[in-house]
Structure 1
């Protein structure tokens, strides 16, 4: 397991953000790129939030079926043109990565006196894809027993989105019923845990975790349609999902728009911190 890159707070520790990199990157590289970018005041997020601790885990190298080589990735994603192709290749990596991130989340919560609401989880591209299933896996197994401060991600997608859309058709509104369905899917398909009784562990309050998702409408690597699909699927489960589209970000649109996107991140984090 790769060790995370940490950025400790400059003032007394009040919150933690755990952010996951995209495929082919790593924690130190992602953190460097993130903090090189500025909000509209010219400051980066670390400067604007001096009491916050930032954690950037790194995935291990794993075989890419598409590129036929080892690369740093949270799981093996066969195609981003058709995320439903060869979905079985994702399962082992997702299961392993979810456990890795849940352990980090456990450690960060302990540093904050057991207060889950002061911990945020997210990422970019494959990172947010992994973060979302980490959240659902944590809820399903009882390791996230109450709401987090928030989930936030950019330019990503949701593995098994089509299956979840079909599963959630019977759910009339966001809430506990939908969360139970998604948690059950995690246990059956990703964790492959046939243990019964998970409902007794399921947090009915975790569904109120707020979500912020942003995506470049001109993203050439992950289609904005996949981001929209993710937002809609999450909206069937969680009542507080905010969606934002933008144009003109660096990296062929596959990055966070500067400074607008960083202003949005800051606003989302600050809002949760005072609520």
Structure 2
């Protein structure tokens, strides 16, 4: 399946870092970029103004048929219900697989521009974009396409598909010690065993423990109008079981119909995370 070209915000100074951010359902890369860059931090500037060496990449998903709305929508996968994410979750598999491998290619292209420095590449998204970004990271670890830490993962106002399945496995006695390569390998392996429709198998390799140190920032509104904060907390519990550096923030009173990062505090946190 062909994906539209990504929307690019080039750096204002020599290129040193890249941030890849995925939009939510019903949006697109350009629209997400406009909304993000219209938001400011405490000093009144937006993120590109504060990070002039950063290249911003906003991929756009395909138009996919929504079983719920009975029409084509720009979405990374078909999510039947956010009230109960376990309902008809098999509908998510095909789109999620296609989107994950598309974003993996984007990551590799951006890393090549930075002479392979994955530590200077950030991946993230909002809402359904967060869901896709997280599974992209897990799949990348499973295939060996990411063997060193990324600069960071930005998980905003979203959830993790198949979280109940994963959380159940991570609660087994053999995983009583969190933040081990074995736990991360289990999560990435679940993608190939239960989600991927491309018939691919997980690479026969040991997960490098350094990948666990990829920093993660999770941010979610307790009064989010579209994605319950309980879903964000569930994703947070899982990520904290397999990653070593996880920063979680909750807030109230976000604008943009209640499904956005709070301004300016939330954007201050994003800036500080990227600057680290």
TM-score (norm 2): 0.95
Confirm whether residue 113 of structure 1 aligns to residue 115 of structure 2: yes
* Residue number among 247, 256, 261 corresponding to 1:256 in the alignment: 261
Report the Cα offset of residue 199 of structure 1.
3.7
CA contact (8 A) 1:218 1:252 kept: no
Where do 1:143-182 residues align within 5 Å?
Answer: 143-170=145-172, 171-172=175-176, 173-182=178-187
Report the Cα offset of residue 239 of structure 1.
1.4
Judging changes above 3 Å, is the alpha-carbon distance between structure 1 residues 39 and 188 closer, same or farther for their aligned structure 2 residues?
same
* Residue number among 206, 212, 224 corresponding to 2:217 in the alignment: 212
CA contact (8 A) 1:217 1:253 kept: no
Residues in 1 aligned to 2:79 and 2:33: alpha-carbon distance in whole angstroms: 23
Residues in 2 aligned to 1:125 and 1:197: alpha-carbon distance in whole angstroms: 27
Report the Cα offset of residue 227 of structure 1.
0.4
Cα distance per residue 1:49-103 (max 9 Å; x no partner) = 0000000000010000011110000000000000000010000000000011000
Judging changes above 3 Å, is the alpha-carbon distance between structure 1 residues 194 and 69 closer, same or farther for their aligned structure 2 residues?
closer
CA contact (8 A) 1:141 1:202 kept: no
Cα distance per residue 1:204-254 (max 9 Å; x no partner) = 321111100100111010000000011011111111111100111112321
Correspondence for 2:84: 82
* Partner-residue secondary structure (3-state), 2:220: strand
* Partner-residue secondary structure (3-state), 1:79: coil
Confirm whether residue 4 of structure 1 aligns to residue 9 of structure 2: no
Q: How many residues align?
A: 271
Bigger mean CA deviation after superposition, 145-154 or 70-79: 145-154
Correspondence for 2:42: 40
* Residue number among 95, 99, 102 corresponding to 1:100 in the alignment: 102
* Residue number among 11, 15, 18 corresponding to 2:17 in the alignment: 15
Structure 2: state its 5+ residue gaps. none
